[in-house]
Amino acid sequence: MHDKTQNRNNFSGSPDWGESKNWFYRDLKVHFRVVGKESSIPIVLIHGFGASCDHWRNNAEIFASAGYRIYGIDLIGFGKSDQDIQDKGIDLNNQFWANQLATFIDEIVDIKKNGKVILIGNSLGSLTAITTLIKRPELIRAIIAAPLPEPVNVNPIKLFFPNWIRKFYIFLIKVFFNLLPLKSLINLISRTKLITYALQSAYFRSISNDKFLKRIITVPARRPNASKALRSMCVGMSTRANYEKGPSILEEIKKLPNRPPILLIWGKQDKLIPIFLAKKLIKLHPWLKLSVIDNAGHCLHDELPNHFNQIVLKWLENLKFSKQPI
């Protein structure tokens, strides 16, 4: 019998972990997975760009075996959740996904019954987690961001433009992404060796033989409406105001009277968001905690799951959370 607590050098965790379920948010289907005892402290896992809850294949059941109730959600536009949203006037961004996540916690996790949640995010999922904290701080017990994106402006730059300039900018963004042949680009990348090159940028180890990983990313990308979801996200993320972006959100979190603990976990070899940005963040926000994993890239939870899981469980154990609902 395979010991799931061993260091996974073969990375054979099944994407089909837990029980697969569907839920509806604003008449849009949302797919999620769940595993663990209902009476346990809930953890919600939030995937990164292009991924799904399947990407927590090497983490979810380990956390459940440690005594937590684990939920993994597919954000709208990703995984098995609805992608045909462009005609519904929805721009996908961290504000939209935070509202989706908060409603999911209200209706599915139910903090009145099970207590506040622990949010664990990878990249875009981390941004969604901290955005949810600003919107609904009463829902959240702790956050683990592995890693946190958008530190390009680690210290938020406050720029003010006349309203007409902003409207014209949004118009140009929409025109650009409507003209861009995203469907052809997605097909080209997901059906050729380009997908291996694209995924490799997020990993330090070689992923050339990881068939499960390629399935996690390519199957949703080949769905008929994947390009519509991507176009909606490109517009939504590109037209946000400064206060909706990561640096400004951290400034708001700093002001919260009962701020929950937040742990950053970073891959030392992350090529997408280099480690020096994490160190800048810690200097700017010393109330954040940082743990660095060597020989890991952007998807460190999947690349070195044994190390990642140990860091997460030890940190949560040290917080000494009560197992009873709050």
Whether residue 171 is contained in a domain is answered as yes
Rounded to two decimals, the pTM is 0.89
State yes or no: pLDDT of 58 exceeds 50.
Answer: yes
CA dihedral for 86, 216, 129, 170, sign (positive or negative): negative
Beta-carbon count within 10 A of 276 CB: 10
The DSSP line for 198-215 is HHHTT-SS--TT-HHHHH
Q: Give 110's pLDDT tier (boundaries 50, 70, 90).
A: confident
Residue 87 confidence (pLDDT) above 80: no
Answer whether residue 7 shows pLDDT above 50. no
- Residue 231 is assigned to a structural domain of this protein: yes
Tally of domains within the chain: 1
Residue linked to tokens 């402290």 = 41
pLDDT at 325 over 60: no
Give the helix/strand (H/E) hosting 113: helix 111-114
Confirm whether 38 is domain-assigned. Answer: yes
Nearest to 121 by CA among 113, 111, 131: 131
DSSP state for residue 285 in the 8-state scheme: -
Residue 10 domain flag: no
Which position has the token pair 């979810």? 60
Cβ–Cβ contacts within 10 Å for residue 59, how many? 25
When pLDDT is cut at 50, 70 and 90, the band that residue 190 belongs to is confident
Least confident of 32-41, 44-53, 164-173, 264-273: 164-173
Task: Tell me which residue has tokens 């400064």.
Answer: 242
- Mean pLDDT, range 255-275, rounded to an integer: 96
CATH of the domain at 152: 3.40.50.1820
| Residue 20 backbone phi and psi in degrees, to 5 | -90, 130
Minimum mean pLDDT among 12-16, 211-215, 301-305: which range?
Answer: 12-16
Q: How confident is the model at residue 157 (pLDDT cuts 50, 70, 90)?
A: low
Q: Note the pLDDT of residue 12.
A: 56
- Residue 267 within a domain: yes
| pLDDT at residue 161 in the model | 63
> What pLDDT, on a 0 to 100 scale, did the predictor assign at position 17?
96
pLDDT above 90 for 304 = yes
Question: Under a CB-based contact definition with an 8 Å cutoff, are residues 33 and 53 in contact?
Answer: yes
Question: Which own/partner pairs from 279-285 qualify as long-range (CB within 8 Å, at least 24 positions apart)?
Answer: 280/151, 280/154, 281/148, 281/151, 281/154, 281/250, 284/154, 284/155, 285/250, 285/254
Which position has the higher pLDDT, 242 or 295?
Answer: 295
- With vertex at residue 280, the alpha carbon angle to CA 261 and CA 268, rounded to the nearest 5 degrees, is 85
Phi first, then psi, for residue 78 (nearest 5°) are -125, 165
267 contacts 296 by C-beta, under 8 angstroms: yes
**Beta carbons within 8 Å of 52's beta carbon, 6+ residues apart:** 31, 74, 78, 79, 80, 216, 220
Tell me, yes or no, whether 3 lies in a domain.
Answer: no
Alpha-carbon span 315 to 141, nearest angstrom = 13
d(Cα 71, Cα 34) in Å, to the nearest integer? 5
Instruction: Write out the residue range of the structural domain in which residue 147 sits.
Output: 19-319
pLDDT of residue 181: 76
Q: What is the mean pLDDT of residues 2-6?
A: 34
Residue 262 gets which letter from DSSP? E
113: buried, middle or exposed (CB in 10 Å: 19+, 13-18, 0-12)? exposed
Helix axes 124-135, 246-254, angle to 10 degrees: 40
Better pLDDT: 278 or 242: 278
pLDDT higher than 70, residue 326: no
pLDDT mean over 85-103: 90
Residue 325 lies in a domain: no
Burial of residue 244 (number of CB atoms within 10 Å: 0-12, 13-18, 19+): middle
Phi-psi region of 190 (alpha: psi -120 to 50; beta: other; left: phi over 0): alpha
Of the listed ranges 64-68, 165-169, 210-214, the least confidently predicted one is: 165-169
Q: Is the pLDDT reported for residue 172 higher than 90?
A: no
Model confidence at 176: pLDDT above 90: no
End-to-end alpha-carbon separation of the chain, Å? 37
Residue 115 lies in a domain: yes
Query: How many CA atoms lie less than 13 Å away from 21 in the CB half-sphere?
Result: 15
